[in-house]
A and B are shown apart, each in its own frame.
Chain A
């Protein structure tokens, strides 16, 4: 039962059972949405492989994937490719390596 009568009451957005889960990952897809797409932990594991703490971060609720990539000094395109590859059982080691590579800012 949701306590909607409490003003401001907002659990972690998008985690309620009935919330719709998108399947397509875009640059604007938030970290939280990606985590919800892969409840068995594949996305969280990929974040771990990239050395991102995002799966545990309060910012995940709002952070789009491309902004997360920039925040962690990674190539947004390579990051997007790696996360999209999850849908087909990926990414490959090479895709992970490209996404994990740090770029000077």
Chain B
């Protein structure tokens, strides 16, 4: 009898607004898939050791404001200021803004500042509906804004009248900042810190792409998304470096950064000067979710199985980021099995299927090196909108070198087939097919929280690291 490993793979998809807005676990649907893997094939199953959640997110926010990682306390920063912009994340991010805002508002009121605006960092994502706002900001916070006469704005990327020109970054990105943010004496962002393919999320990213114009977003994304130096863990990579430089140019003073565990709960909250506080948040994130790679000792895997967990989304477009993480430990020609229910999303303007936005890659299918050149040409010609291309293009690029099989809900199969994606409802079937492709001795790895997970040797926190300079001199 063959010795087997019983793998448990998270197979979750929840409304990010629900994750951020409620502590009621009964409102959160969680599911798993299981798979028996011959132990001889398994090279790694990476389950992170997560700290306990903070419990009270609001108190964690209050404590962070009073005990900054770097720079003055929030109260000290507010002293003498006439106006403030509080920049928050949009409806497709799970940051529990409604719970983090009360201490921020307390401090602003205590400082006697009346010229206040909350600005949603939509980037080029669809604006929040009123129902979205009620959940994201919370009725109590909205009532407080109403009573104080504080303003609320959303990014309006194609309205040229809404922006102020700031300058051009060293990477060549022309920067138009939302005037409501540009005109504020003090600027704070509140978001989720996590490593990702673009270097990291949170912090200055709420400035770019959050509250800048269409031209600024597209310029940054067109220039840097396809760089080989833009990858999981590349905080010092060209894309994240440009984002942080632009945030500095825009006068971002400070950031509040939460780390959410794989259940969507706050496990850390770090406040302080830009960019130091966010950088620290990413260090702490990496200390939990980055893993020692097995590749040096055992070689790259033939098959990587990725799970999807709560703080992601209803669309594969958002859950599928882990393809780029798995890419780092999977050999070319290997198989990524991505389990993602992707039930789709209901919005104020209609319902969208679970593979919405992945259809943008259809004109370039099948994924080949030659067709990837067509993608690059169309990015150059600005025929691909890179606010969306920043996600599907890297996934596509991985697919030019590796086979992707998505394990998903039945309702997604037709659309997946229409796009040209390999999809099935059965993890067992997907695994059997992968084993038949790669042989009985295939090396198998499991990244159950792939969107969070990255090998430690991919981390690039400082631009001056010799490995980057060596690569640049090739």
How large, as a class, is the contact surface on chain B?
A: 35 or more
Contacts of A2 in B (CB 8 A): 130
B152 is contacted by which of A8, A71, A102 (Cβ under 8 Å)? A8
Whole-angstrom distance between the alpha carbons of A44 and B381 in the complex?
25
Contacts of B356 in A (CB 8 A): 48, 55-56
Contacts of B363 in A (CB 8 A): 51
Whether the Cβ atoms of B352 and A6 lie closer than 8 Å is no
Whether the Cβ atoms of A8 and B157 lie closer than 8 Å is no
With both beta carbons as reference points, the residue of chain B lying nearest to A61 in the complex is identified as B127
Asked if A5 meets B146 with Cβ closer than 8 Å, knowing A44-B350, A59-B158, the reply is yes
Contacts of B383 in A (CB 8 A): 72-73, 102
Contacts of A36 in B (CB 8 A): 349
Q: Which of A35-94 contact B (CB under 8 A)?
A: 35-36, 38-41, 44, 48, 51, 53, 55-63, 71-73
Whole-angstrom distance between the alpha carbons of A70 and B26 in the complex?
47
Asked if A12 meets B348 with Cβ closer than 8 Å, knowing A48-B356, A53-B360, A53-B388, the reply is yes
A8 is contacted by which of B151, B155, B158, B381 (Cβ under 8 Å)? B151
Whether the Cβ atoms of B350 and A12 lie closer than 8 Å is no
**CB of B276, distance to nearest CB on chain A (Å):** 30
Whole-angstrom distance between the alpha carbons of A56 and B156 in the complex?
14
Contacts of B132 in A (CB 8 A): 11
**CB of A51, distance to nearest CB on chain B (Å):** 6
With both beta carbons as reference points, the residue of chain A lying nearest to B217 in the complex is identified as A58
Whether the Cβ atoms of A51 and B350 lie closer than 8 Å is no
B322 interface residue per 8 A CB criterion: no
Whether the Cβ atoms of A3 and B129 lie closer than 8 Å is no
Whole-angstrom distance between the alpha carbons of A12 and B154 in the complex?
9
A11 is contacted by which of B133, B357, B385, B387 (Cβ under 8 Å)? B133
B145 interface residue per 8 A CB criterion: yes
**CB of B21, distance to nearest CB on chain A (Å):** 17
Can you name 18 extra interface pairs (CB under 8 A) apart from A12-B127, A53-B385, A55-B356?
A: A3-B130, A5-B149, A6-B146, A7-B151, A10-B154, A11-B130, A39-B349, A41-B352, A55-B350, A56-B352, A56-B388, A57-B125, A57-B388, A58-B125, A59-B124, A59-B158, A61-B156, A73-B381
